[in-house]
Amino acid sequence: MIFGKEFKINPSLQTWAILAGLALQPFSYATAGGISEGGGDFHTSWYGSAWYLGSDPIKACIEISSDFGISLQQAQIDIRSAFQTWDRYMNGKRVNRGLDSDPLFRIVSDIQFLPSCDGGQELVFYLGSDNPKIEAAKSHFENPMAFIHRENYDLEKARSTGFVWIIKSGGLFPGALQGGSPNWTLPYNFHGIILHEIGHLMGVPHLPGTIMDEDWLLSRFQSFDEEFRKHSFTKIDYLKEIKMLPTAETQYDGFFGPWPCSGNISNCRPEYKTAFNTITGRPAVGDIVTARFFGDRKGGMQLELQDTAGTFILNIETANFKDATVFNLATNVFRTYRNVHEGSTTGKGFAFTQVGSVEYGNLITPNGERFLAAIERNSYNPTALEIQALLPQSGFTKIFSADIRKMRY
């Protein structure tokens, strides 16, 4: 039996689809990126793990239909670019350095394209193609747009065989705006879906607020704003982080106040003007207040606020920080598994855990006043990092929201 998890459009997306002219029929859903594994009537020990470990590049080939929407050459360019994006992300987040620091558990992000699918490949990209093997895997999803299917995993070599399947342009909703849905001819759309599917090959499940958010992908394919699609489909993290580094080793650009204000004081409620005055010692000059949070790798942290008239540096004491508290259910990311034959152990695996946390400390103003501060990361709030300060006039008030889209990963 092939395992495939069904992911369905939520009601808000169904409403959006109807308005966009997609003419969804009742109980018609779309899968934005499912995972299918070979196996019996149970999940194997390696279910959901990275497909390729070690140092050898992935041997891959492409079968593309004439009506897929982009050329074979463009598909190769986008697929290679997506692998490079994941490589930069894993290097920046120290993924392979953290997987027991063992080269045997290095997740492979290098790809080698073969001239044809003649049997020497490990991975096939079926782009708009169809055959009995694809149909068999597709039957375990409801109206799929894309999915990966692993046919076999060699536990000794930590190498998989399988395929990535992506529907042709207009194959999901032919009557939609912008030439049907999905429309791979629109810049960045194909890059976005392939970036998502490669994430599954790296051992990453569906995660909200990132490129691995399946509903989020569906809602952006039909955007008329090319710059918006670029921001959406060329980065891994968007609102949340798949893997967090220690707080004191991070740097986030962002803005003062909550996400909806985007640093524009005039758009915020009056208490945010008061909050700025309280923690800096003077009113904000101009409407826009930019901000930056960074650690010094020695445990210290700082918040930098800048308006039209100047810059303020606020230190955050770490001595009173409490243990992190989990906000959401822990999710294993960048999961790896292979046989290593150490003593009586034959199977060995590693994974990072994506959780949310809150840390407490003291925010020190330029005037030397101290206010209790809470640093929330990957919580239920809209952004990956937010800072709230306990202020006398307004209680806990958001004074910083990260704009994770500006991170270099």
pLDDT along the chain (409 residues), means of 10: 30 28 32 59 75 96 96 97 96 82 88 96 97 93 92 94 95 68 90 96 92 79 78 86 81 86 85 93 90 77 92 82 50 89 68 79 93 84 84 92 69
Same domain? 326 vs 353:
yes
Kindly state whether residue 354 falls inside one of the protein's structural domains. yes
59 domain residue, yes or no: yes
Note whether residue 367 is domain-resident: yes
Element (H, E) at 63: strand 58-64
What is the pLDDT at residue 28? 34
Question: Could you tell me if 264 and 288 are in contact, meaning their C-beta atoms sit under 8 angstroms apart?
Answer: yes
What is d(CA 360, CA 322) in angstroms, rounded to the nearest whole number? 6
Same domain, 210 and 335: no
H or E segment to which residue 189 belongs: helix 189-201
Please name the amino acid found at residue 370: R
125/93 same-domain check: yes
Predicted pLDDT of residue 267: 84
Boundary-marking domain end, from 233, 264, 292? 233
274, 396: one domain: yes
pLDDT digits over 82-104, tens only? 999 999 999 989 898 876 667 88
> What is residue 346's predicted lDDT score, i.e. its pLDDT?
64
Q: Same domain, yes or no, for 261 and 199?
A: no
Beta bridge partners of 3: 37
Range of the domain at 123: 3-233
Quote the number of domains for the chain: 2
Domain boundary among 169, 198, 233: 233
Q: Is residue 242 part of a domain?
A: no
348 and 199 share one domain: no
Does 37 share its domain with 88? yes
Please report the DSSP string for 149-170 in residue order: EEEEEETTTTEEEEEEEEPPTT
Does some domain include residue 240?
A: no
Q: What does the pLDDT read at residue 123? A: 98
Measured at the CA of 147, the angle between CA 142 and CA 149, to 5 degrees, comes to 110
Is cis: bond before 182, omega within 30 of 0?
A: yes
Q: Which helix (H) or strand (E) holds 378?
A: none
Select from 184, 209, 233 the last residue of a domain.
Answer: 233
* Domain match, 180 and 46 both: yes
Answer whether 13's CB lies under 8 Å from 219's CB.
Answer: yes
Report the distance separating Cα 204 and Cα 169, nearest Å.
Answer: 26
Same domain, 221 and 291: no
Is there a domain that residue 259 lies in? yes
Shared domain check, 251 and 213: no
Contact 32, 218 (CB under 8 A): yes
User: Both 21 and 145 in a single domain?
Assistant: yes
Query: Coil, helix or strand for 211?
Result: coil
